[in-house]
Structure formats: C-alpha cells, structure tokens
Amino acid sequence: MQMKKYIIFVFAICAYTFTHAQQLPQFTSYQLSPYLYNPAYAGVDGYTQLNAVVREQWSGVNKAPETKSISMFGPLRNEKMALGGVVVSDKLGAESKNGFQLSYAYHLRLKNDLSLSLGLSGGLMQYKLDNTVINPYDAGDPVFSIPGLTDVVPNASFGAFLYADNYYVSLAVPQLLNSSFSALDDFDGELLGGSLVNHYYLGGGYDHKLNNQWNIEPSLLLKMIPQAPIQFELVTKCTYNDMLWAAVGYRHNESALLYLGYDINDQFYVAYGHDFVTSGLNTVSSGTNEFKFGMRFNKGK
C-alpha cells in the first residue's frame, strides 16, 4: 500500500507539472539568482559572473525535488551586449528535467542612469521518467514495460530588465515555444505526453542607502501561469558594509524565506537560503535548503 501511494504521488506530480502548473525550478529568492529567471540580467551589474546553486526542497520528504544549476554570464568588450549560459538539472523522484540555454542581451541607455536590457535565450530540455527506480503496483502496466520514458524539446525565453542606480523592473517570459513532448511504447502508442506553457514573471526592487554602512532593498516578484493562481514573493534584503547581507521574505501560500550571504572578497561570495514551509507540507517537511557559491570578475568600466 505504501508503494502504491508513492506511485500515485509521482504520477500526480507529473500530471500537475505537465499541464498548467509551474513547470520551472523554484529558487529561494529572485534577488539571489536573477539571471536564472531572466536572460536580460546578463551584463546589468557590469561583472562577468560564475554561479553554482544547489537546492534541496522539502527536507524530510522521500524523493523530494532537487535542483542544481551552473550559470555564467557577463558583458562583452562592447558593453552594450552580454552573453550567458545556464545548465539546470531538476529531479523529483523518478521524474527529471535536464537542459541548457544560451542567452544574448542588448543594453540601451535611455537617459541619465536609466537603461533597458533586452534578452533572449534558447536551448534544449530533456524530460525523463526513470522506471528503474519504481516498483510498480501493477506489473502488467505498459508504462513500466520499458526502462524509462524520455523526450528532448527545444526551449526559449525572453526577458526585459529596466534598471537605474537604485531600482529595477524585470519582465521574463520563459518557455516561449510551447513545445510538446511525449513518450511512446514499442507500438508507437503514447504513454505520457504534455507541453510547455508560458510563464510570466514580473518583478521589481528598490535599493535604498540608509547610511554609510547599511542598505535596504525591498523587492516584489509576481509569477503568472495560465489557468493557475497568481503567486507573489515579497522579500526585503539588508546589506552591511557591502560585505554581509541577509533577507527575509514570504512566498504566497507556500513558505517564509530567509537567506544569509557573505562577500569573502571582491571576487568570491557564498550564500545560504532556507524556506520555512507554511503550506500543508509543514507536517512532514522541515523546509527547503539552498546553497550558492559565486564568482565576480572582469567588471566593465
């Protein structure tokens, strides 16, 4: 009976993901990893950056989501242009999504310190259901007659990032192509299918200098997905001496957020984030842990 419940759980999550729910990996805060949401962020701060993120969601839940990403982005010698790339691995039980995207961004100076960056990214995403990690309740089910179900589809994203010295507004539209994917059995009969749907991320933030030592940065992110409720994240980040930083936040109907960061020097920094679950999962999970390591180098003029 326990295995049957697990099988139902896995396929319920797959069905939920493949239709009109959030299909993209989630991170503790937009402020912490803006490029993972929006390709137009490349080159905004003038640095070339290399970042690694490891996220372990719903600690205490067996086969809970795990997300890993490595990204690199930054401006070219012509600082109006920037390039970037990201590799992401997202795993939930027997289901996994692995892919990469390469991006290009162009920056326009509108007036004084106000600029607009437009970004576009494209790549491939592999969807896989690994039957070898599942003990089927019904051994005769044709879904389990092959080792796994796999398909690879193209993927693309568009982003716009309006920014000044102390504020920004961000718009991102991942999964532009609405690619369809399916897995077939030996008789070309579809066993599992679905399609990517557009996501719309609208966010903004304001960086206010309190005094010579403290900065405070409130931000808001709205996530809009067709036929799903709008989700919002509200985060406030405080920075001390441009070296230590901490933030608290709230993700609607899901979790409270906390993260801490330390700039080791001008080049290296580390960060840790934690989501305190506020939904019904709080009875079985102690929350989500996220770790980030970053490098900054080659800042433009």
Mean pLDDT: which of 120-124, 129-133, 284-288 is highest?
120-124
Q: Is 266 exposed, middle or buried (0-12, 13-18, 19+ CB in 10 A)?
A: exposed
Report the pLDDT value the prediction gives residue 128, as an integer from 0 to 100.
Answer: 81
Using DSSP's 3-state secondary structure scheme, residue 245 falls into strand
Say if pTM beats, i.e. exceeds, 0.85. Answer: no
In whole angstroms, what is the distance from residue 244 CA to residue 74 CA?
Answer: 23
Which of 190 and 281 is assigned the larger pLDDT?
281
Mind listing the pLDDT tens digit for each residue in 131-145?
665 555 555 555 555
CATH number for the domain including 107? Answer: 2.40.160.40
Helix (H) or strand (E) run with residue 12 in it: helix 2-18
Q: What is the DSSP letter of 44?
A: T
Q: Which residues, in sequence order, are CB contacts of 22 under 8 Å at separation 6+?
A: 199, 223, 225, 228, 231
Report the pLDDT value the prediction gives residue 296, as an integer from 0 to 100.
Answer: 92
In whole angstroms, what is the distance from residue 147 CA to residue 135 CA?
Answer: 12
Report the pLDDT value the prediction gives residue 17, as an integer from 0 to 100.
Answer: 43
Is residue 266 over pLDDT 90? Answer: no
Report the pLDDT value the prediction gives residue 52, as an integer from 0 to 100.
Answer: 96
Q: How confident is the model at residue 92 (pLDDT cuts 50, 70, 90)?
A: confident
Number of domains in the chain: 1
Report the pLDDT value the prediction gives residue 214, as an integer from 0 to 100.
Answer: 96
Report the pLDDT value the prediction gives residue 227, as an integer from 0 to 100.
Answer: 78
What's the mean pLDDT when you consider all of the chain? 82
E strand segments, 26-146? 48-59, 66-75, 81-92, 95-111, 114-130
Nearest to 199, CA basis, from 20, 17, 16: 20
Sign, CA dihedral 29-215-245-275, equals: negative
- Domain boundaries, position 71: 2-297
Report the pLDDT value the prediction gives residue 102, as an integer from 0 to 100.
Answer: 98
In whole angstroms, what is the distance from residue 44 CA to residue 117 CA?
Answer: 8
Q: How confident is the model at residue 123 (pLDDT cuts 50, 70, 90)?
A: very high
The CA-CA-CA angle for residues 166, 168, 172, to 5°, reads 165
Average confidence (pLDDT) over 152-176: 94
